[in-house]
Amino acid sequence: MKSSLAYQTLFDDVDTVPIFPSTRYQGSKLKFLDWIWNCVKDIPFTTCLDAFGGTGSVAYRFKQEGKAVTYNDILPFNYIIGKALIENSHQTLSNSEVESLLSPSTGISYPSFIADTFKDIYFTDEENKWLDIVSTNIRGMKDPYKQAIAYFALFQSCIIKRPYNLFHRKNLYVRTQDVQRSFGNKVTWDTPFEIHFKKFVEEANNAVFDNGSFCKASNLDALHISSKYDLVYIDTPYLNNKGVGVDYADFYHFLNGIVNYTEWKDMIDYKSKHLRLKRRENDWNDKIKILDAFKKLFATYKHSVLVISYRSNGIPTIDELCHILQEQGRSTSVKTSNEMKYALSNSANREVLIISMPKEY
């Protein structure tokens, strides 16, 4: 088993240290990574699962430490991010490959689904046409890891050009109207897709490395993963004490549409003004069902060390989660990141880490 010094031994030359790409993704744990690692570094483990992988920042941190990491996320676009940054150990995109993605190729009849369907909703007419072309070129790529990097760059480019970095409402007008603004970055919004895309390809290329262990990405329901892991990191969708949560599938539906481009038209809820995808039942966003979902999740990984990222004002409460774990015969401790709070939050809403050891430890 590799030691907790793996980060230093893997990257003796500081100039070779891979850097996790920038992201504007809701709920990213990027600023908590060192704190999370310091809380778990003395736990002996080789294999680990990031069950709700999101941006992949925690899985990436574990990969940097030489662990055999499985990144998992139920959202297809997130899975592709995990494939690009966690599973991928060698492949990068060359400048010539990037250039070939950014313009039409002769002999290809390009579809116009985004331009026809999403006019005046998220992006300008010219940008929608560009998205149709580039997403089609990406779908035609043969190498799955190069393709994953290209998709990653496209996803991040779409996010950075959106007000609030989300697709939760029809609000292109926020970008285009000629008014004085107190938020957002109009320069970023108006920067051409092509420039953003190249920047994010470079960031993804710089993040690719081989840690010497077997790492992979999966696209499964976290309750239905059969493999066994020494440690399972859990960062479920979060419900605050008012029962309000983050619906990632709704906030980023446009990106899942891009992944499923040829089936996209049949996936849309055409009654919604912003043409989101049809909603599926999600226990993690239901304040009635979420407690039972946690019980099932903990039971699924009863033989693993559980490391649960949470917030101090969540539903269920921390005490309720600890009670479930103790009923399953586990020893449990709670770490609170007192020195770091979420922006615009009060002292009652802090980042918490619940560490729970199975019976056999």
Q: How many CA atoms lie within 13 A of 93 on its CB side?
A: 32
* Residue 72 predicted with pLDDT over 60: yes
At 342, the pLDDT band (50, 70, 90 cuts) reads very low
pLDDT score for 28: 84
* Residue 183 predicted with pLDDT over 80: no
C-alpha closest to that of 19 among 203, 259, 213 = 203
pLDDT digits (tens, 9 = 90+) for 275-312: 999 999 899 999 999 999 999 999 999 999 999 999 98
Of the ranges 95-109, 188-202, 336-350, which one carries the lowest mean pLDDT score? 336-350
Of the ranges 119-123, 135-139, 170-174, 270-274, which one carries the lowest mean pLDDT score? 170-174
* Residue 13 predicted with pLDDT over 80: no
Phi, psi of 67, rounded to the nearest 5 degrees: -80, 155
At 114, the pLDDT band (50, 70, 90 cuts) reads very high
Mean pLDDT, residues 17-25: 87
pLDDT score for 142: 97
At 180, the pLDDT band (50, 70, 90 cuts) reads low
* Residue 269 predicted with pLDDT over 60: yes
Mean pLDDT, residues 105-129: 97
* Residue 14 predicted with pLDDT over 60: no
Of the ranges 249-253, 278-282, 324-328, 339-343, which one carries the lowest mean pLDDT score? 339-343
pLDDT score for 1: 36
Higher-pLDDT residue of 163, 349: 163
User: Hey, what amino acid is at 226?
Assistant: S
C-alpha closest to that of 161 among 133, 130, 196 = 196
C-alpha closest to that of 237 among 254, 222, 227, 225 = 222
DSSP class of residue 4 equals T
At 181, the pLDDT band (50, 70, 90 cuts) reads low
Token pair of 104 as six digits? 């039409």
Percent of all residues in the chain with a pLDDT value above 70, rounded to a whole number: 91
Mean pLDDT, residues 134-138: 98
H/E stretch holding 350: strand 350-357
pLDDT score for 68: 98
Whether the Cβ atoms of residue 342 and residue 352 lie closer than 8 Å to each other: no
Higher-pLDDT residue of 181, 4: 181
| 181/190 Cα distance (integer angstroms) | 14
| 341, β-bridge pairs | 350
pLDDT score for 179: 61
At 184, the pLDDT band (50, 70, 90 cuts) reads low
pLDDT score for 343: 44
pLDDT score for 93: 98
* Residue 347 predicted with pLDDT over 70: no
At 177, the pLDDT band (50, 70, 90 cuts) reads confident
Of the ranges 153-157, 316-320, 347-351, which one carries the lowest mean pLDDT score? 347-351
At 46, the pLDDT band (50, 70, 90 cuts) reads very high
At 5, the pLDDT band (50, 70, 90 cuts) reads low
The set of residues, in sequence order, having a beta carbon less than 8 Å from that of 223 and lying 6+ positions away, is 293, 296, 297, 300
> What average pLDDT is seen over the chain?
91
pLDDT score for 214: 97
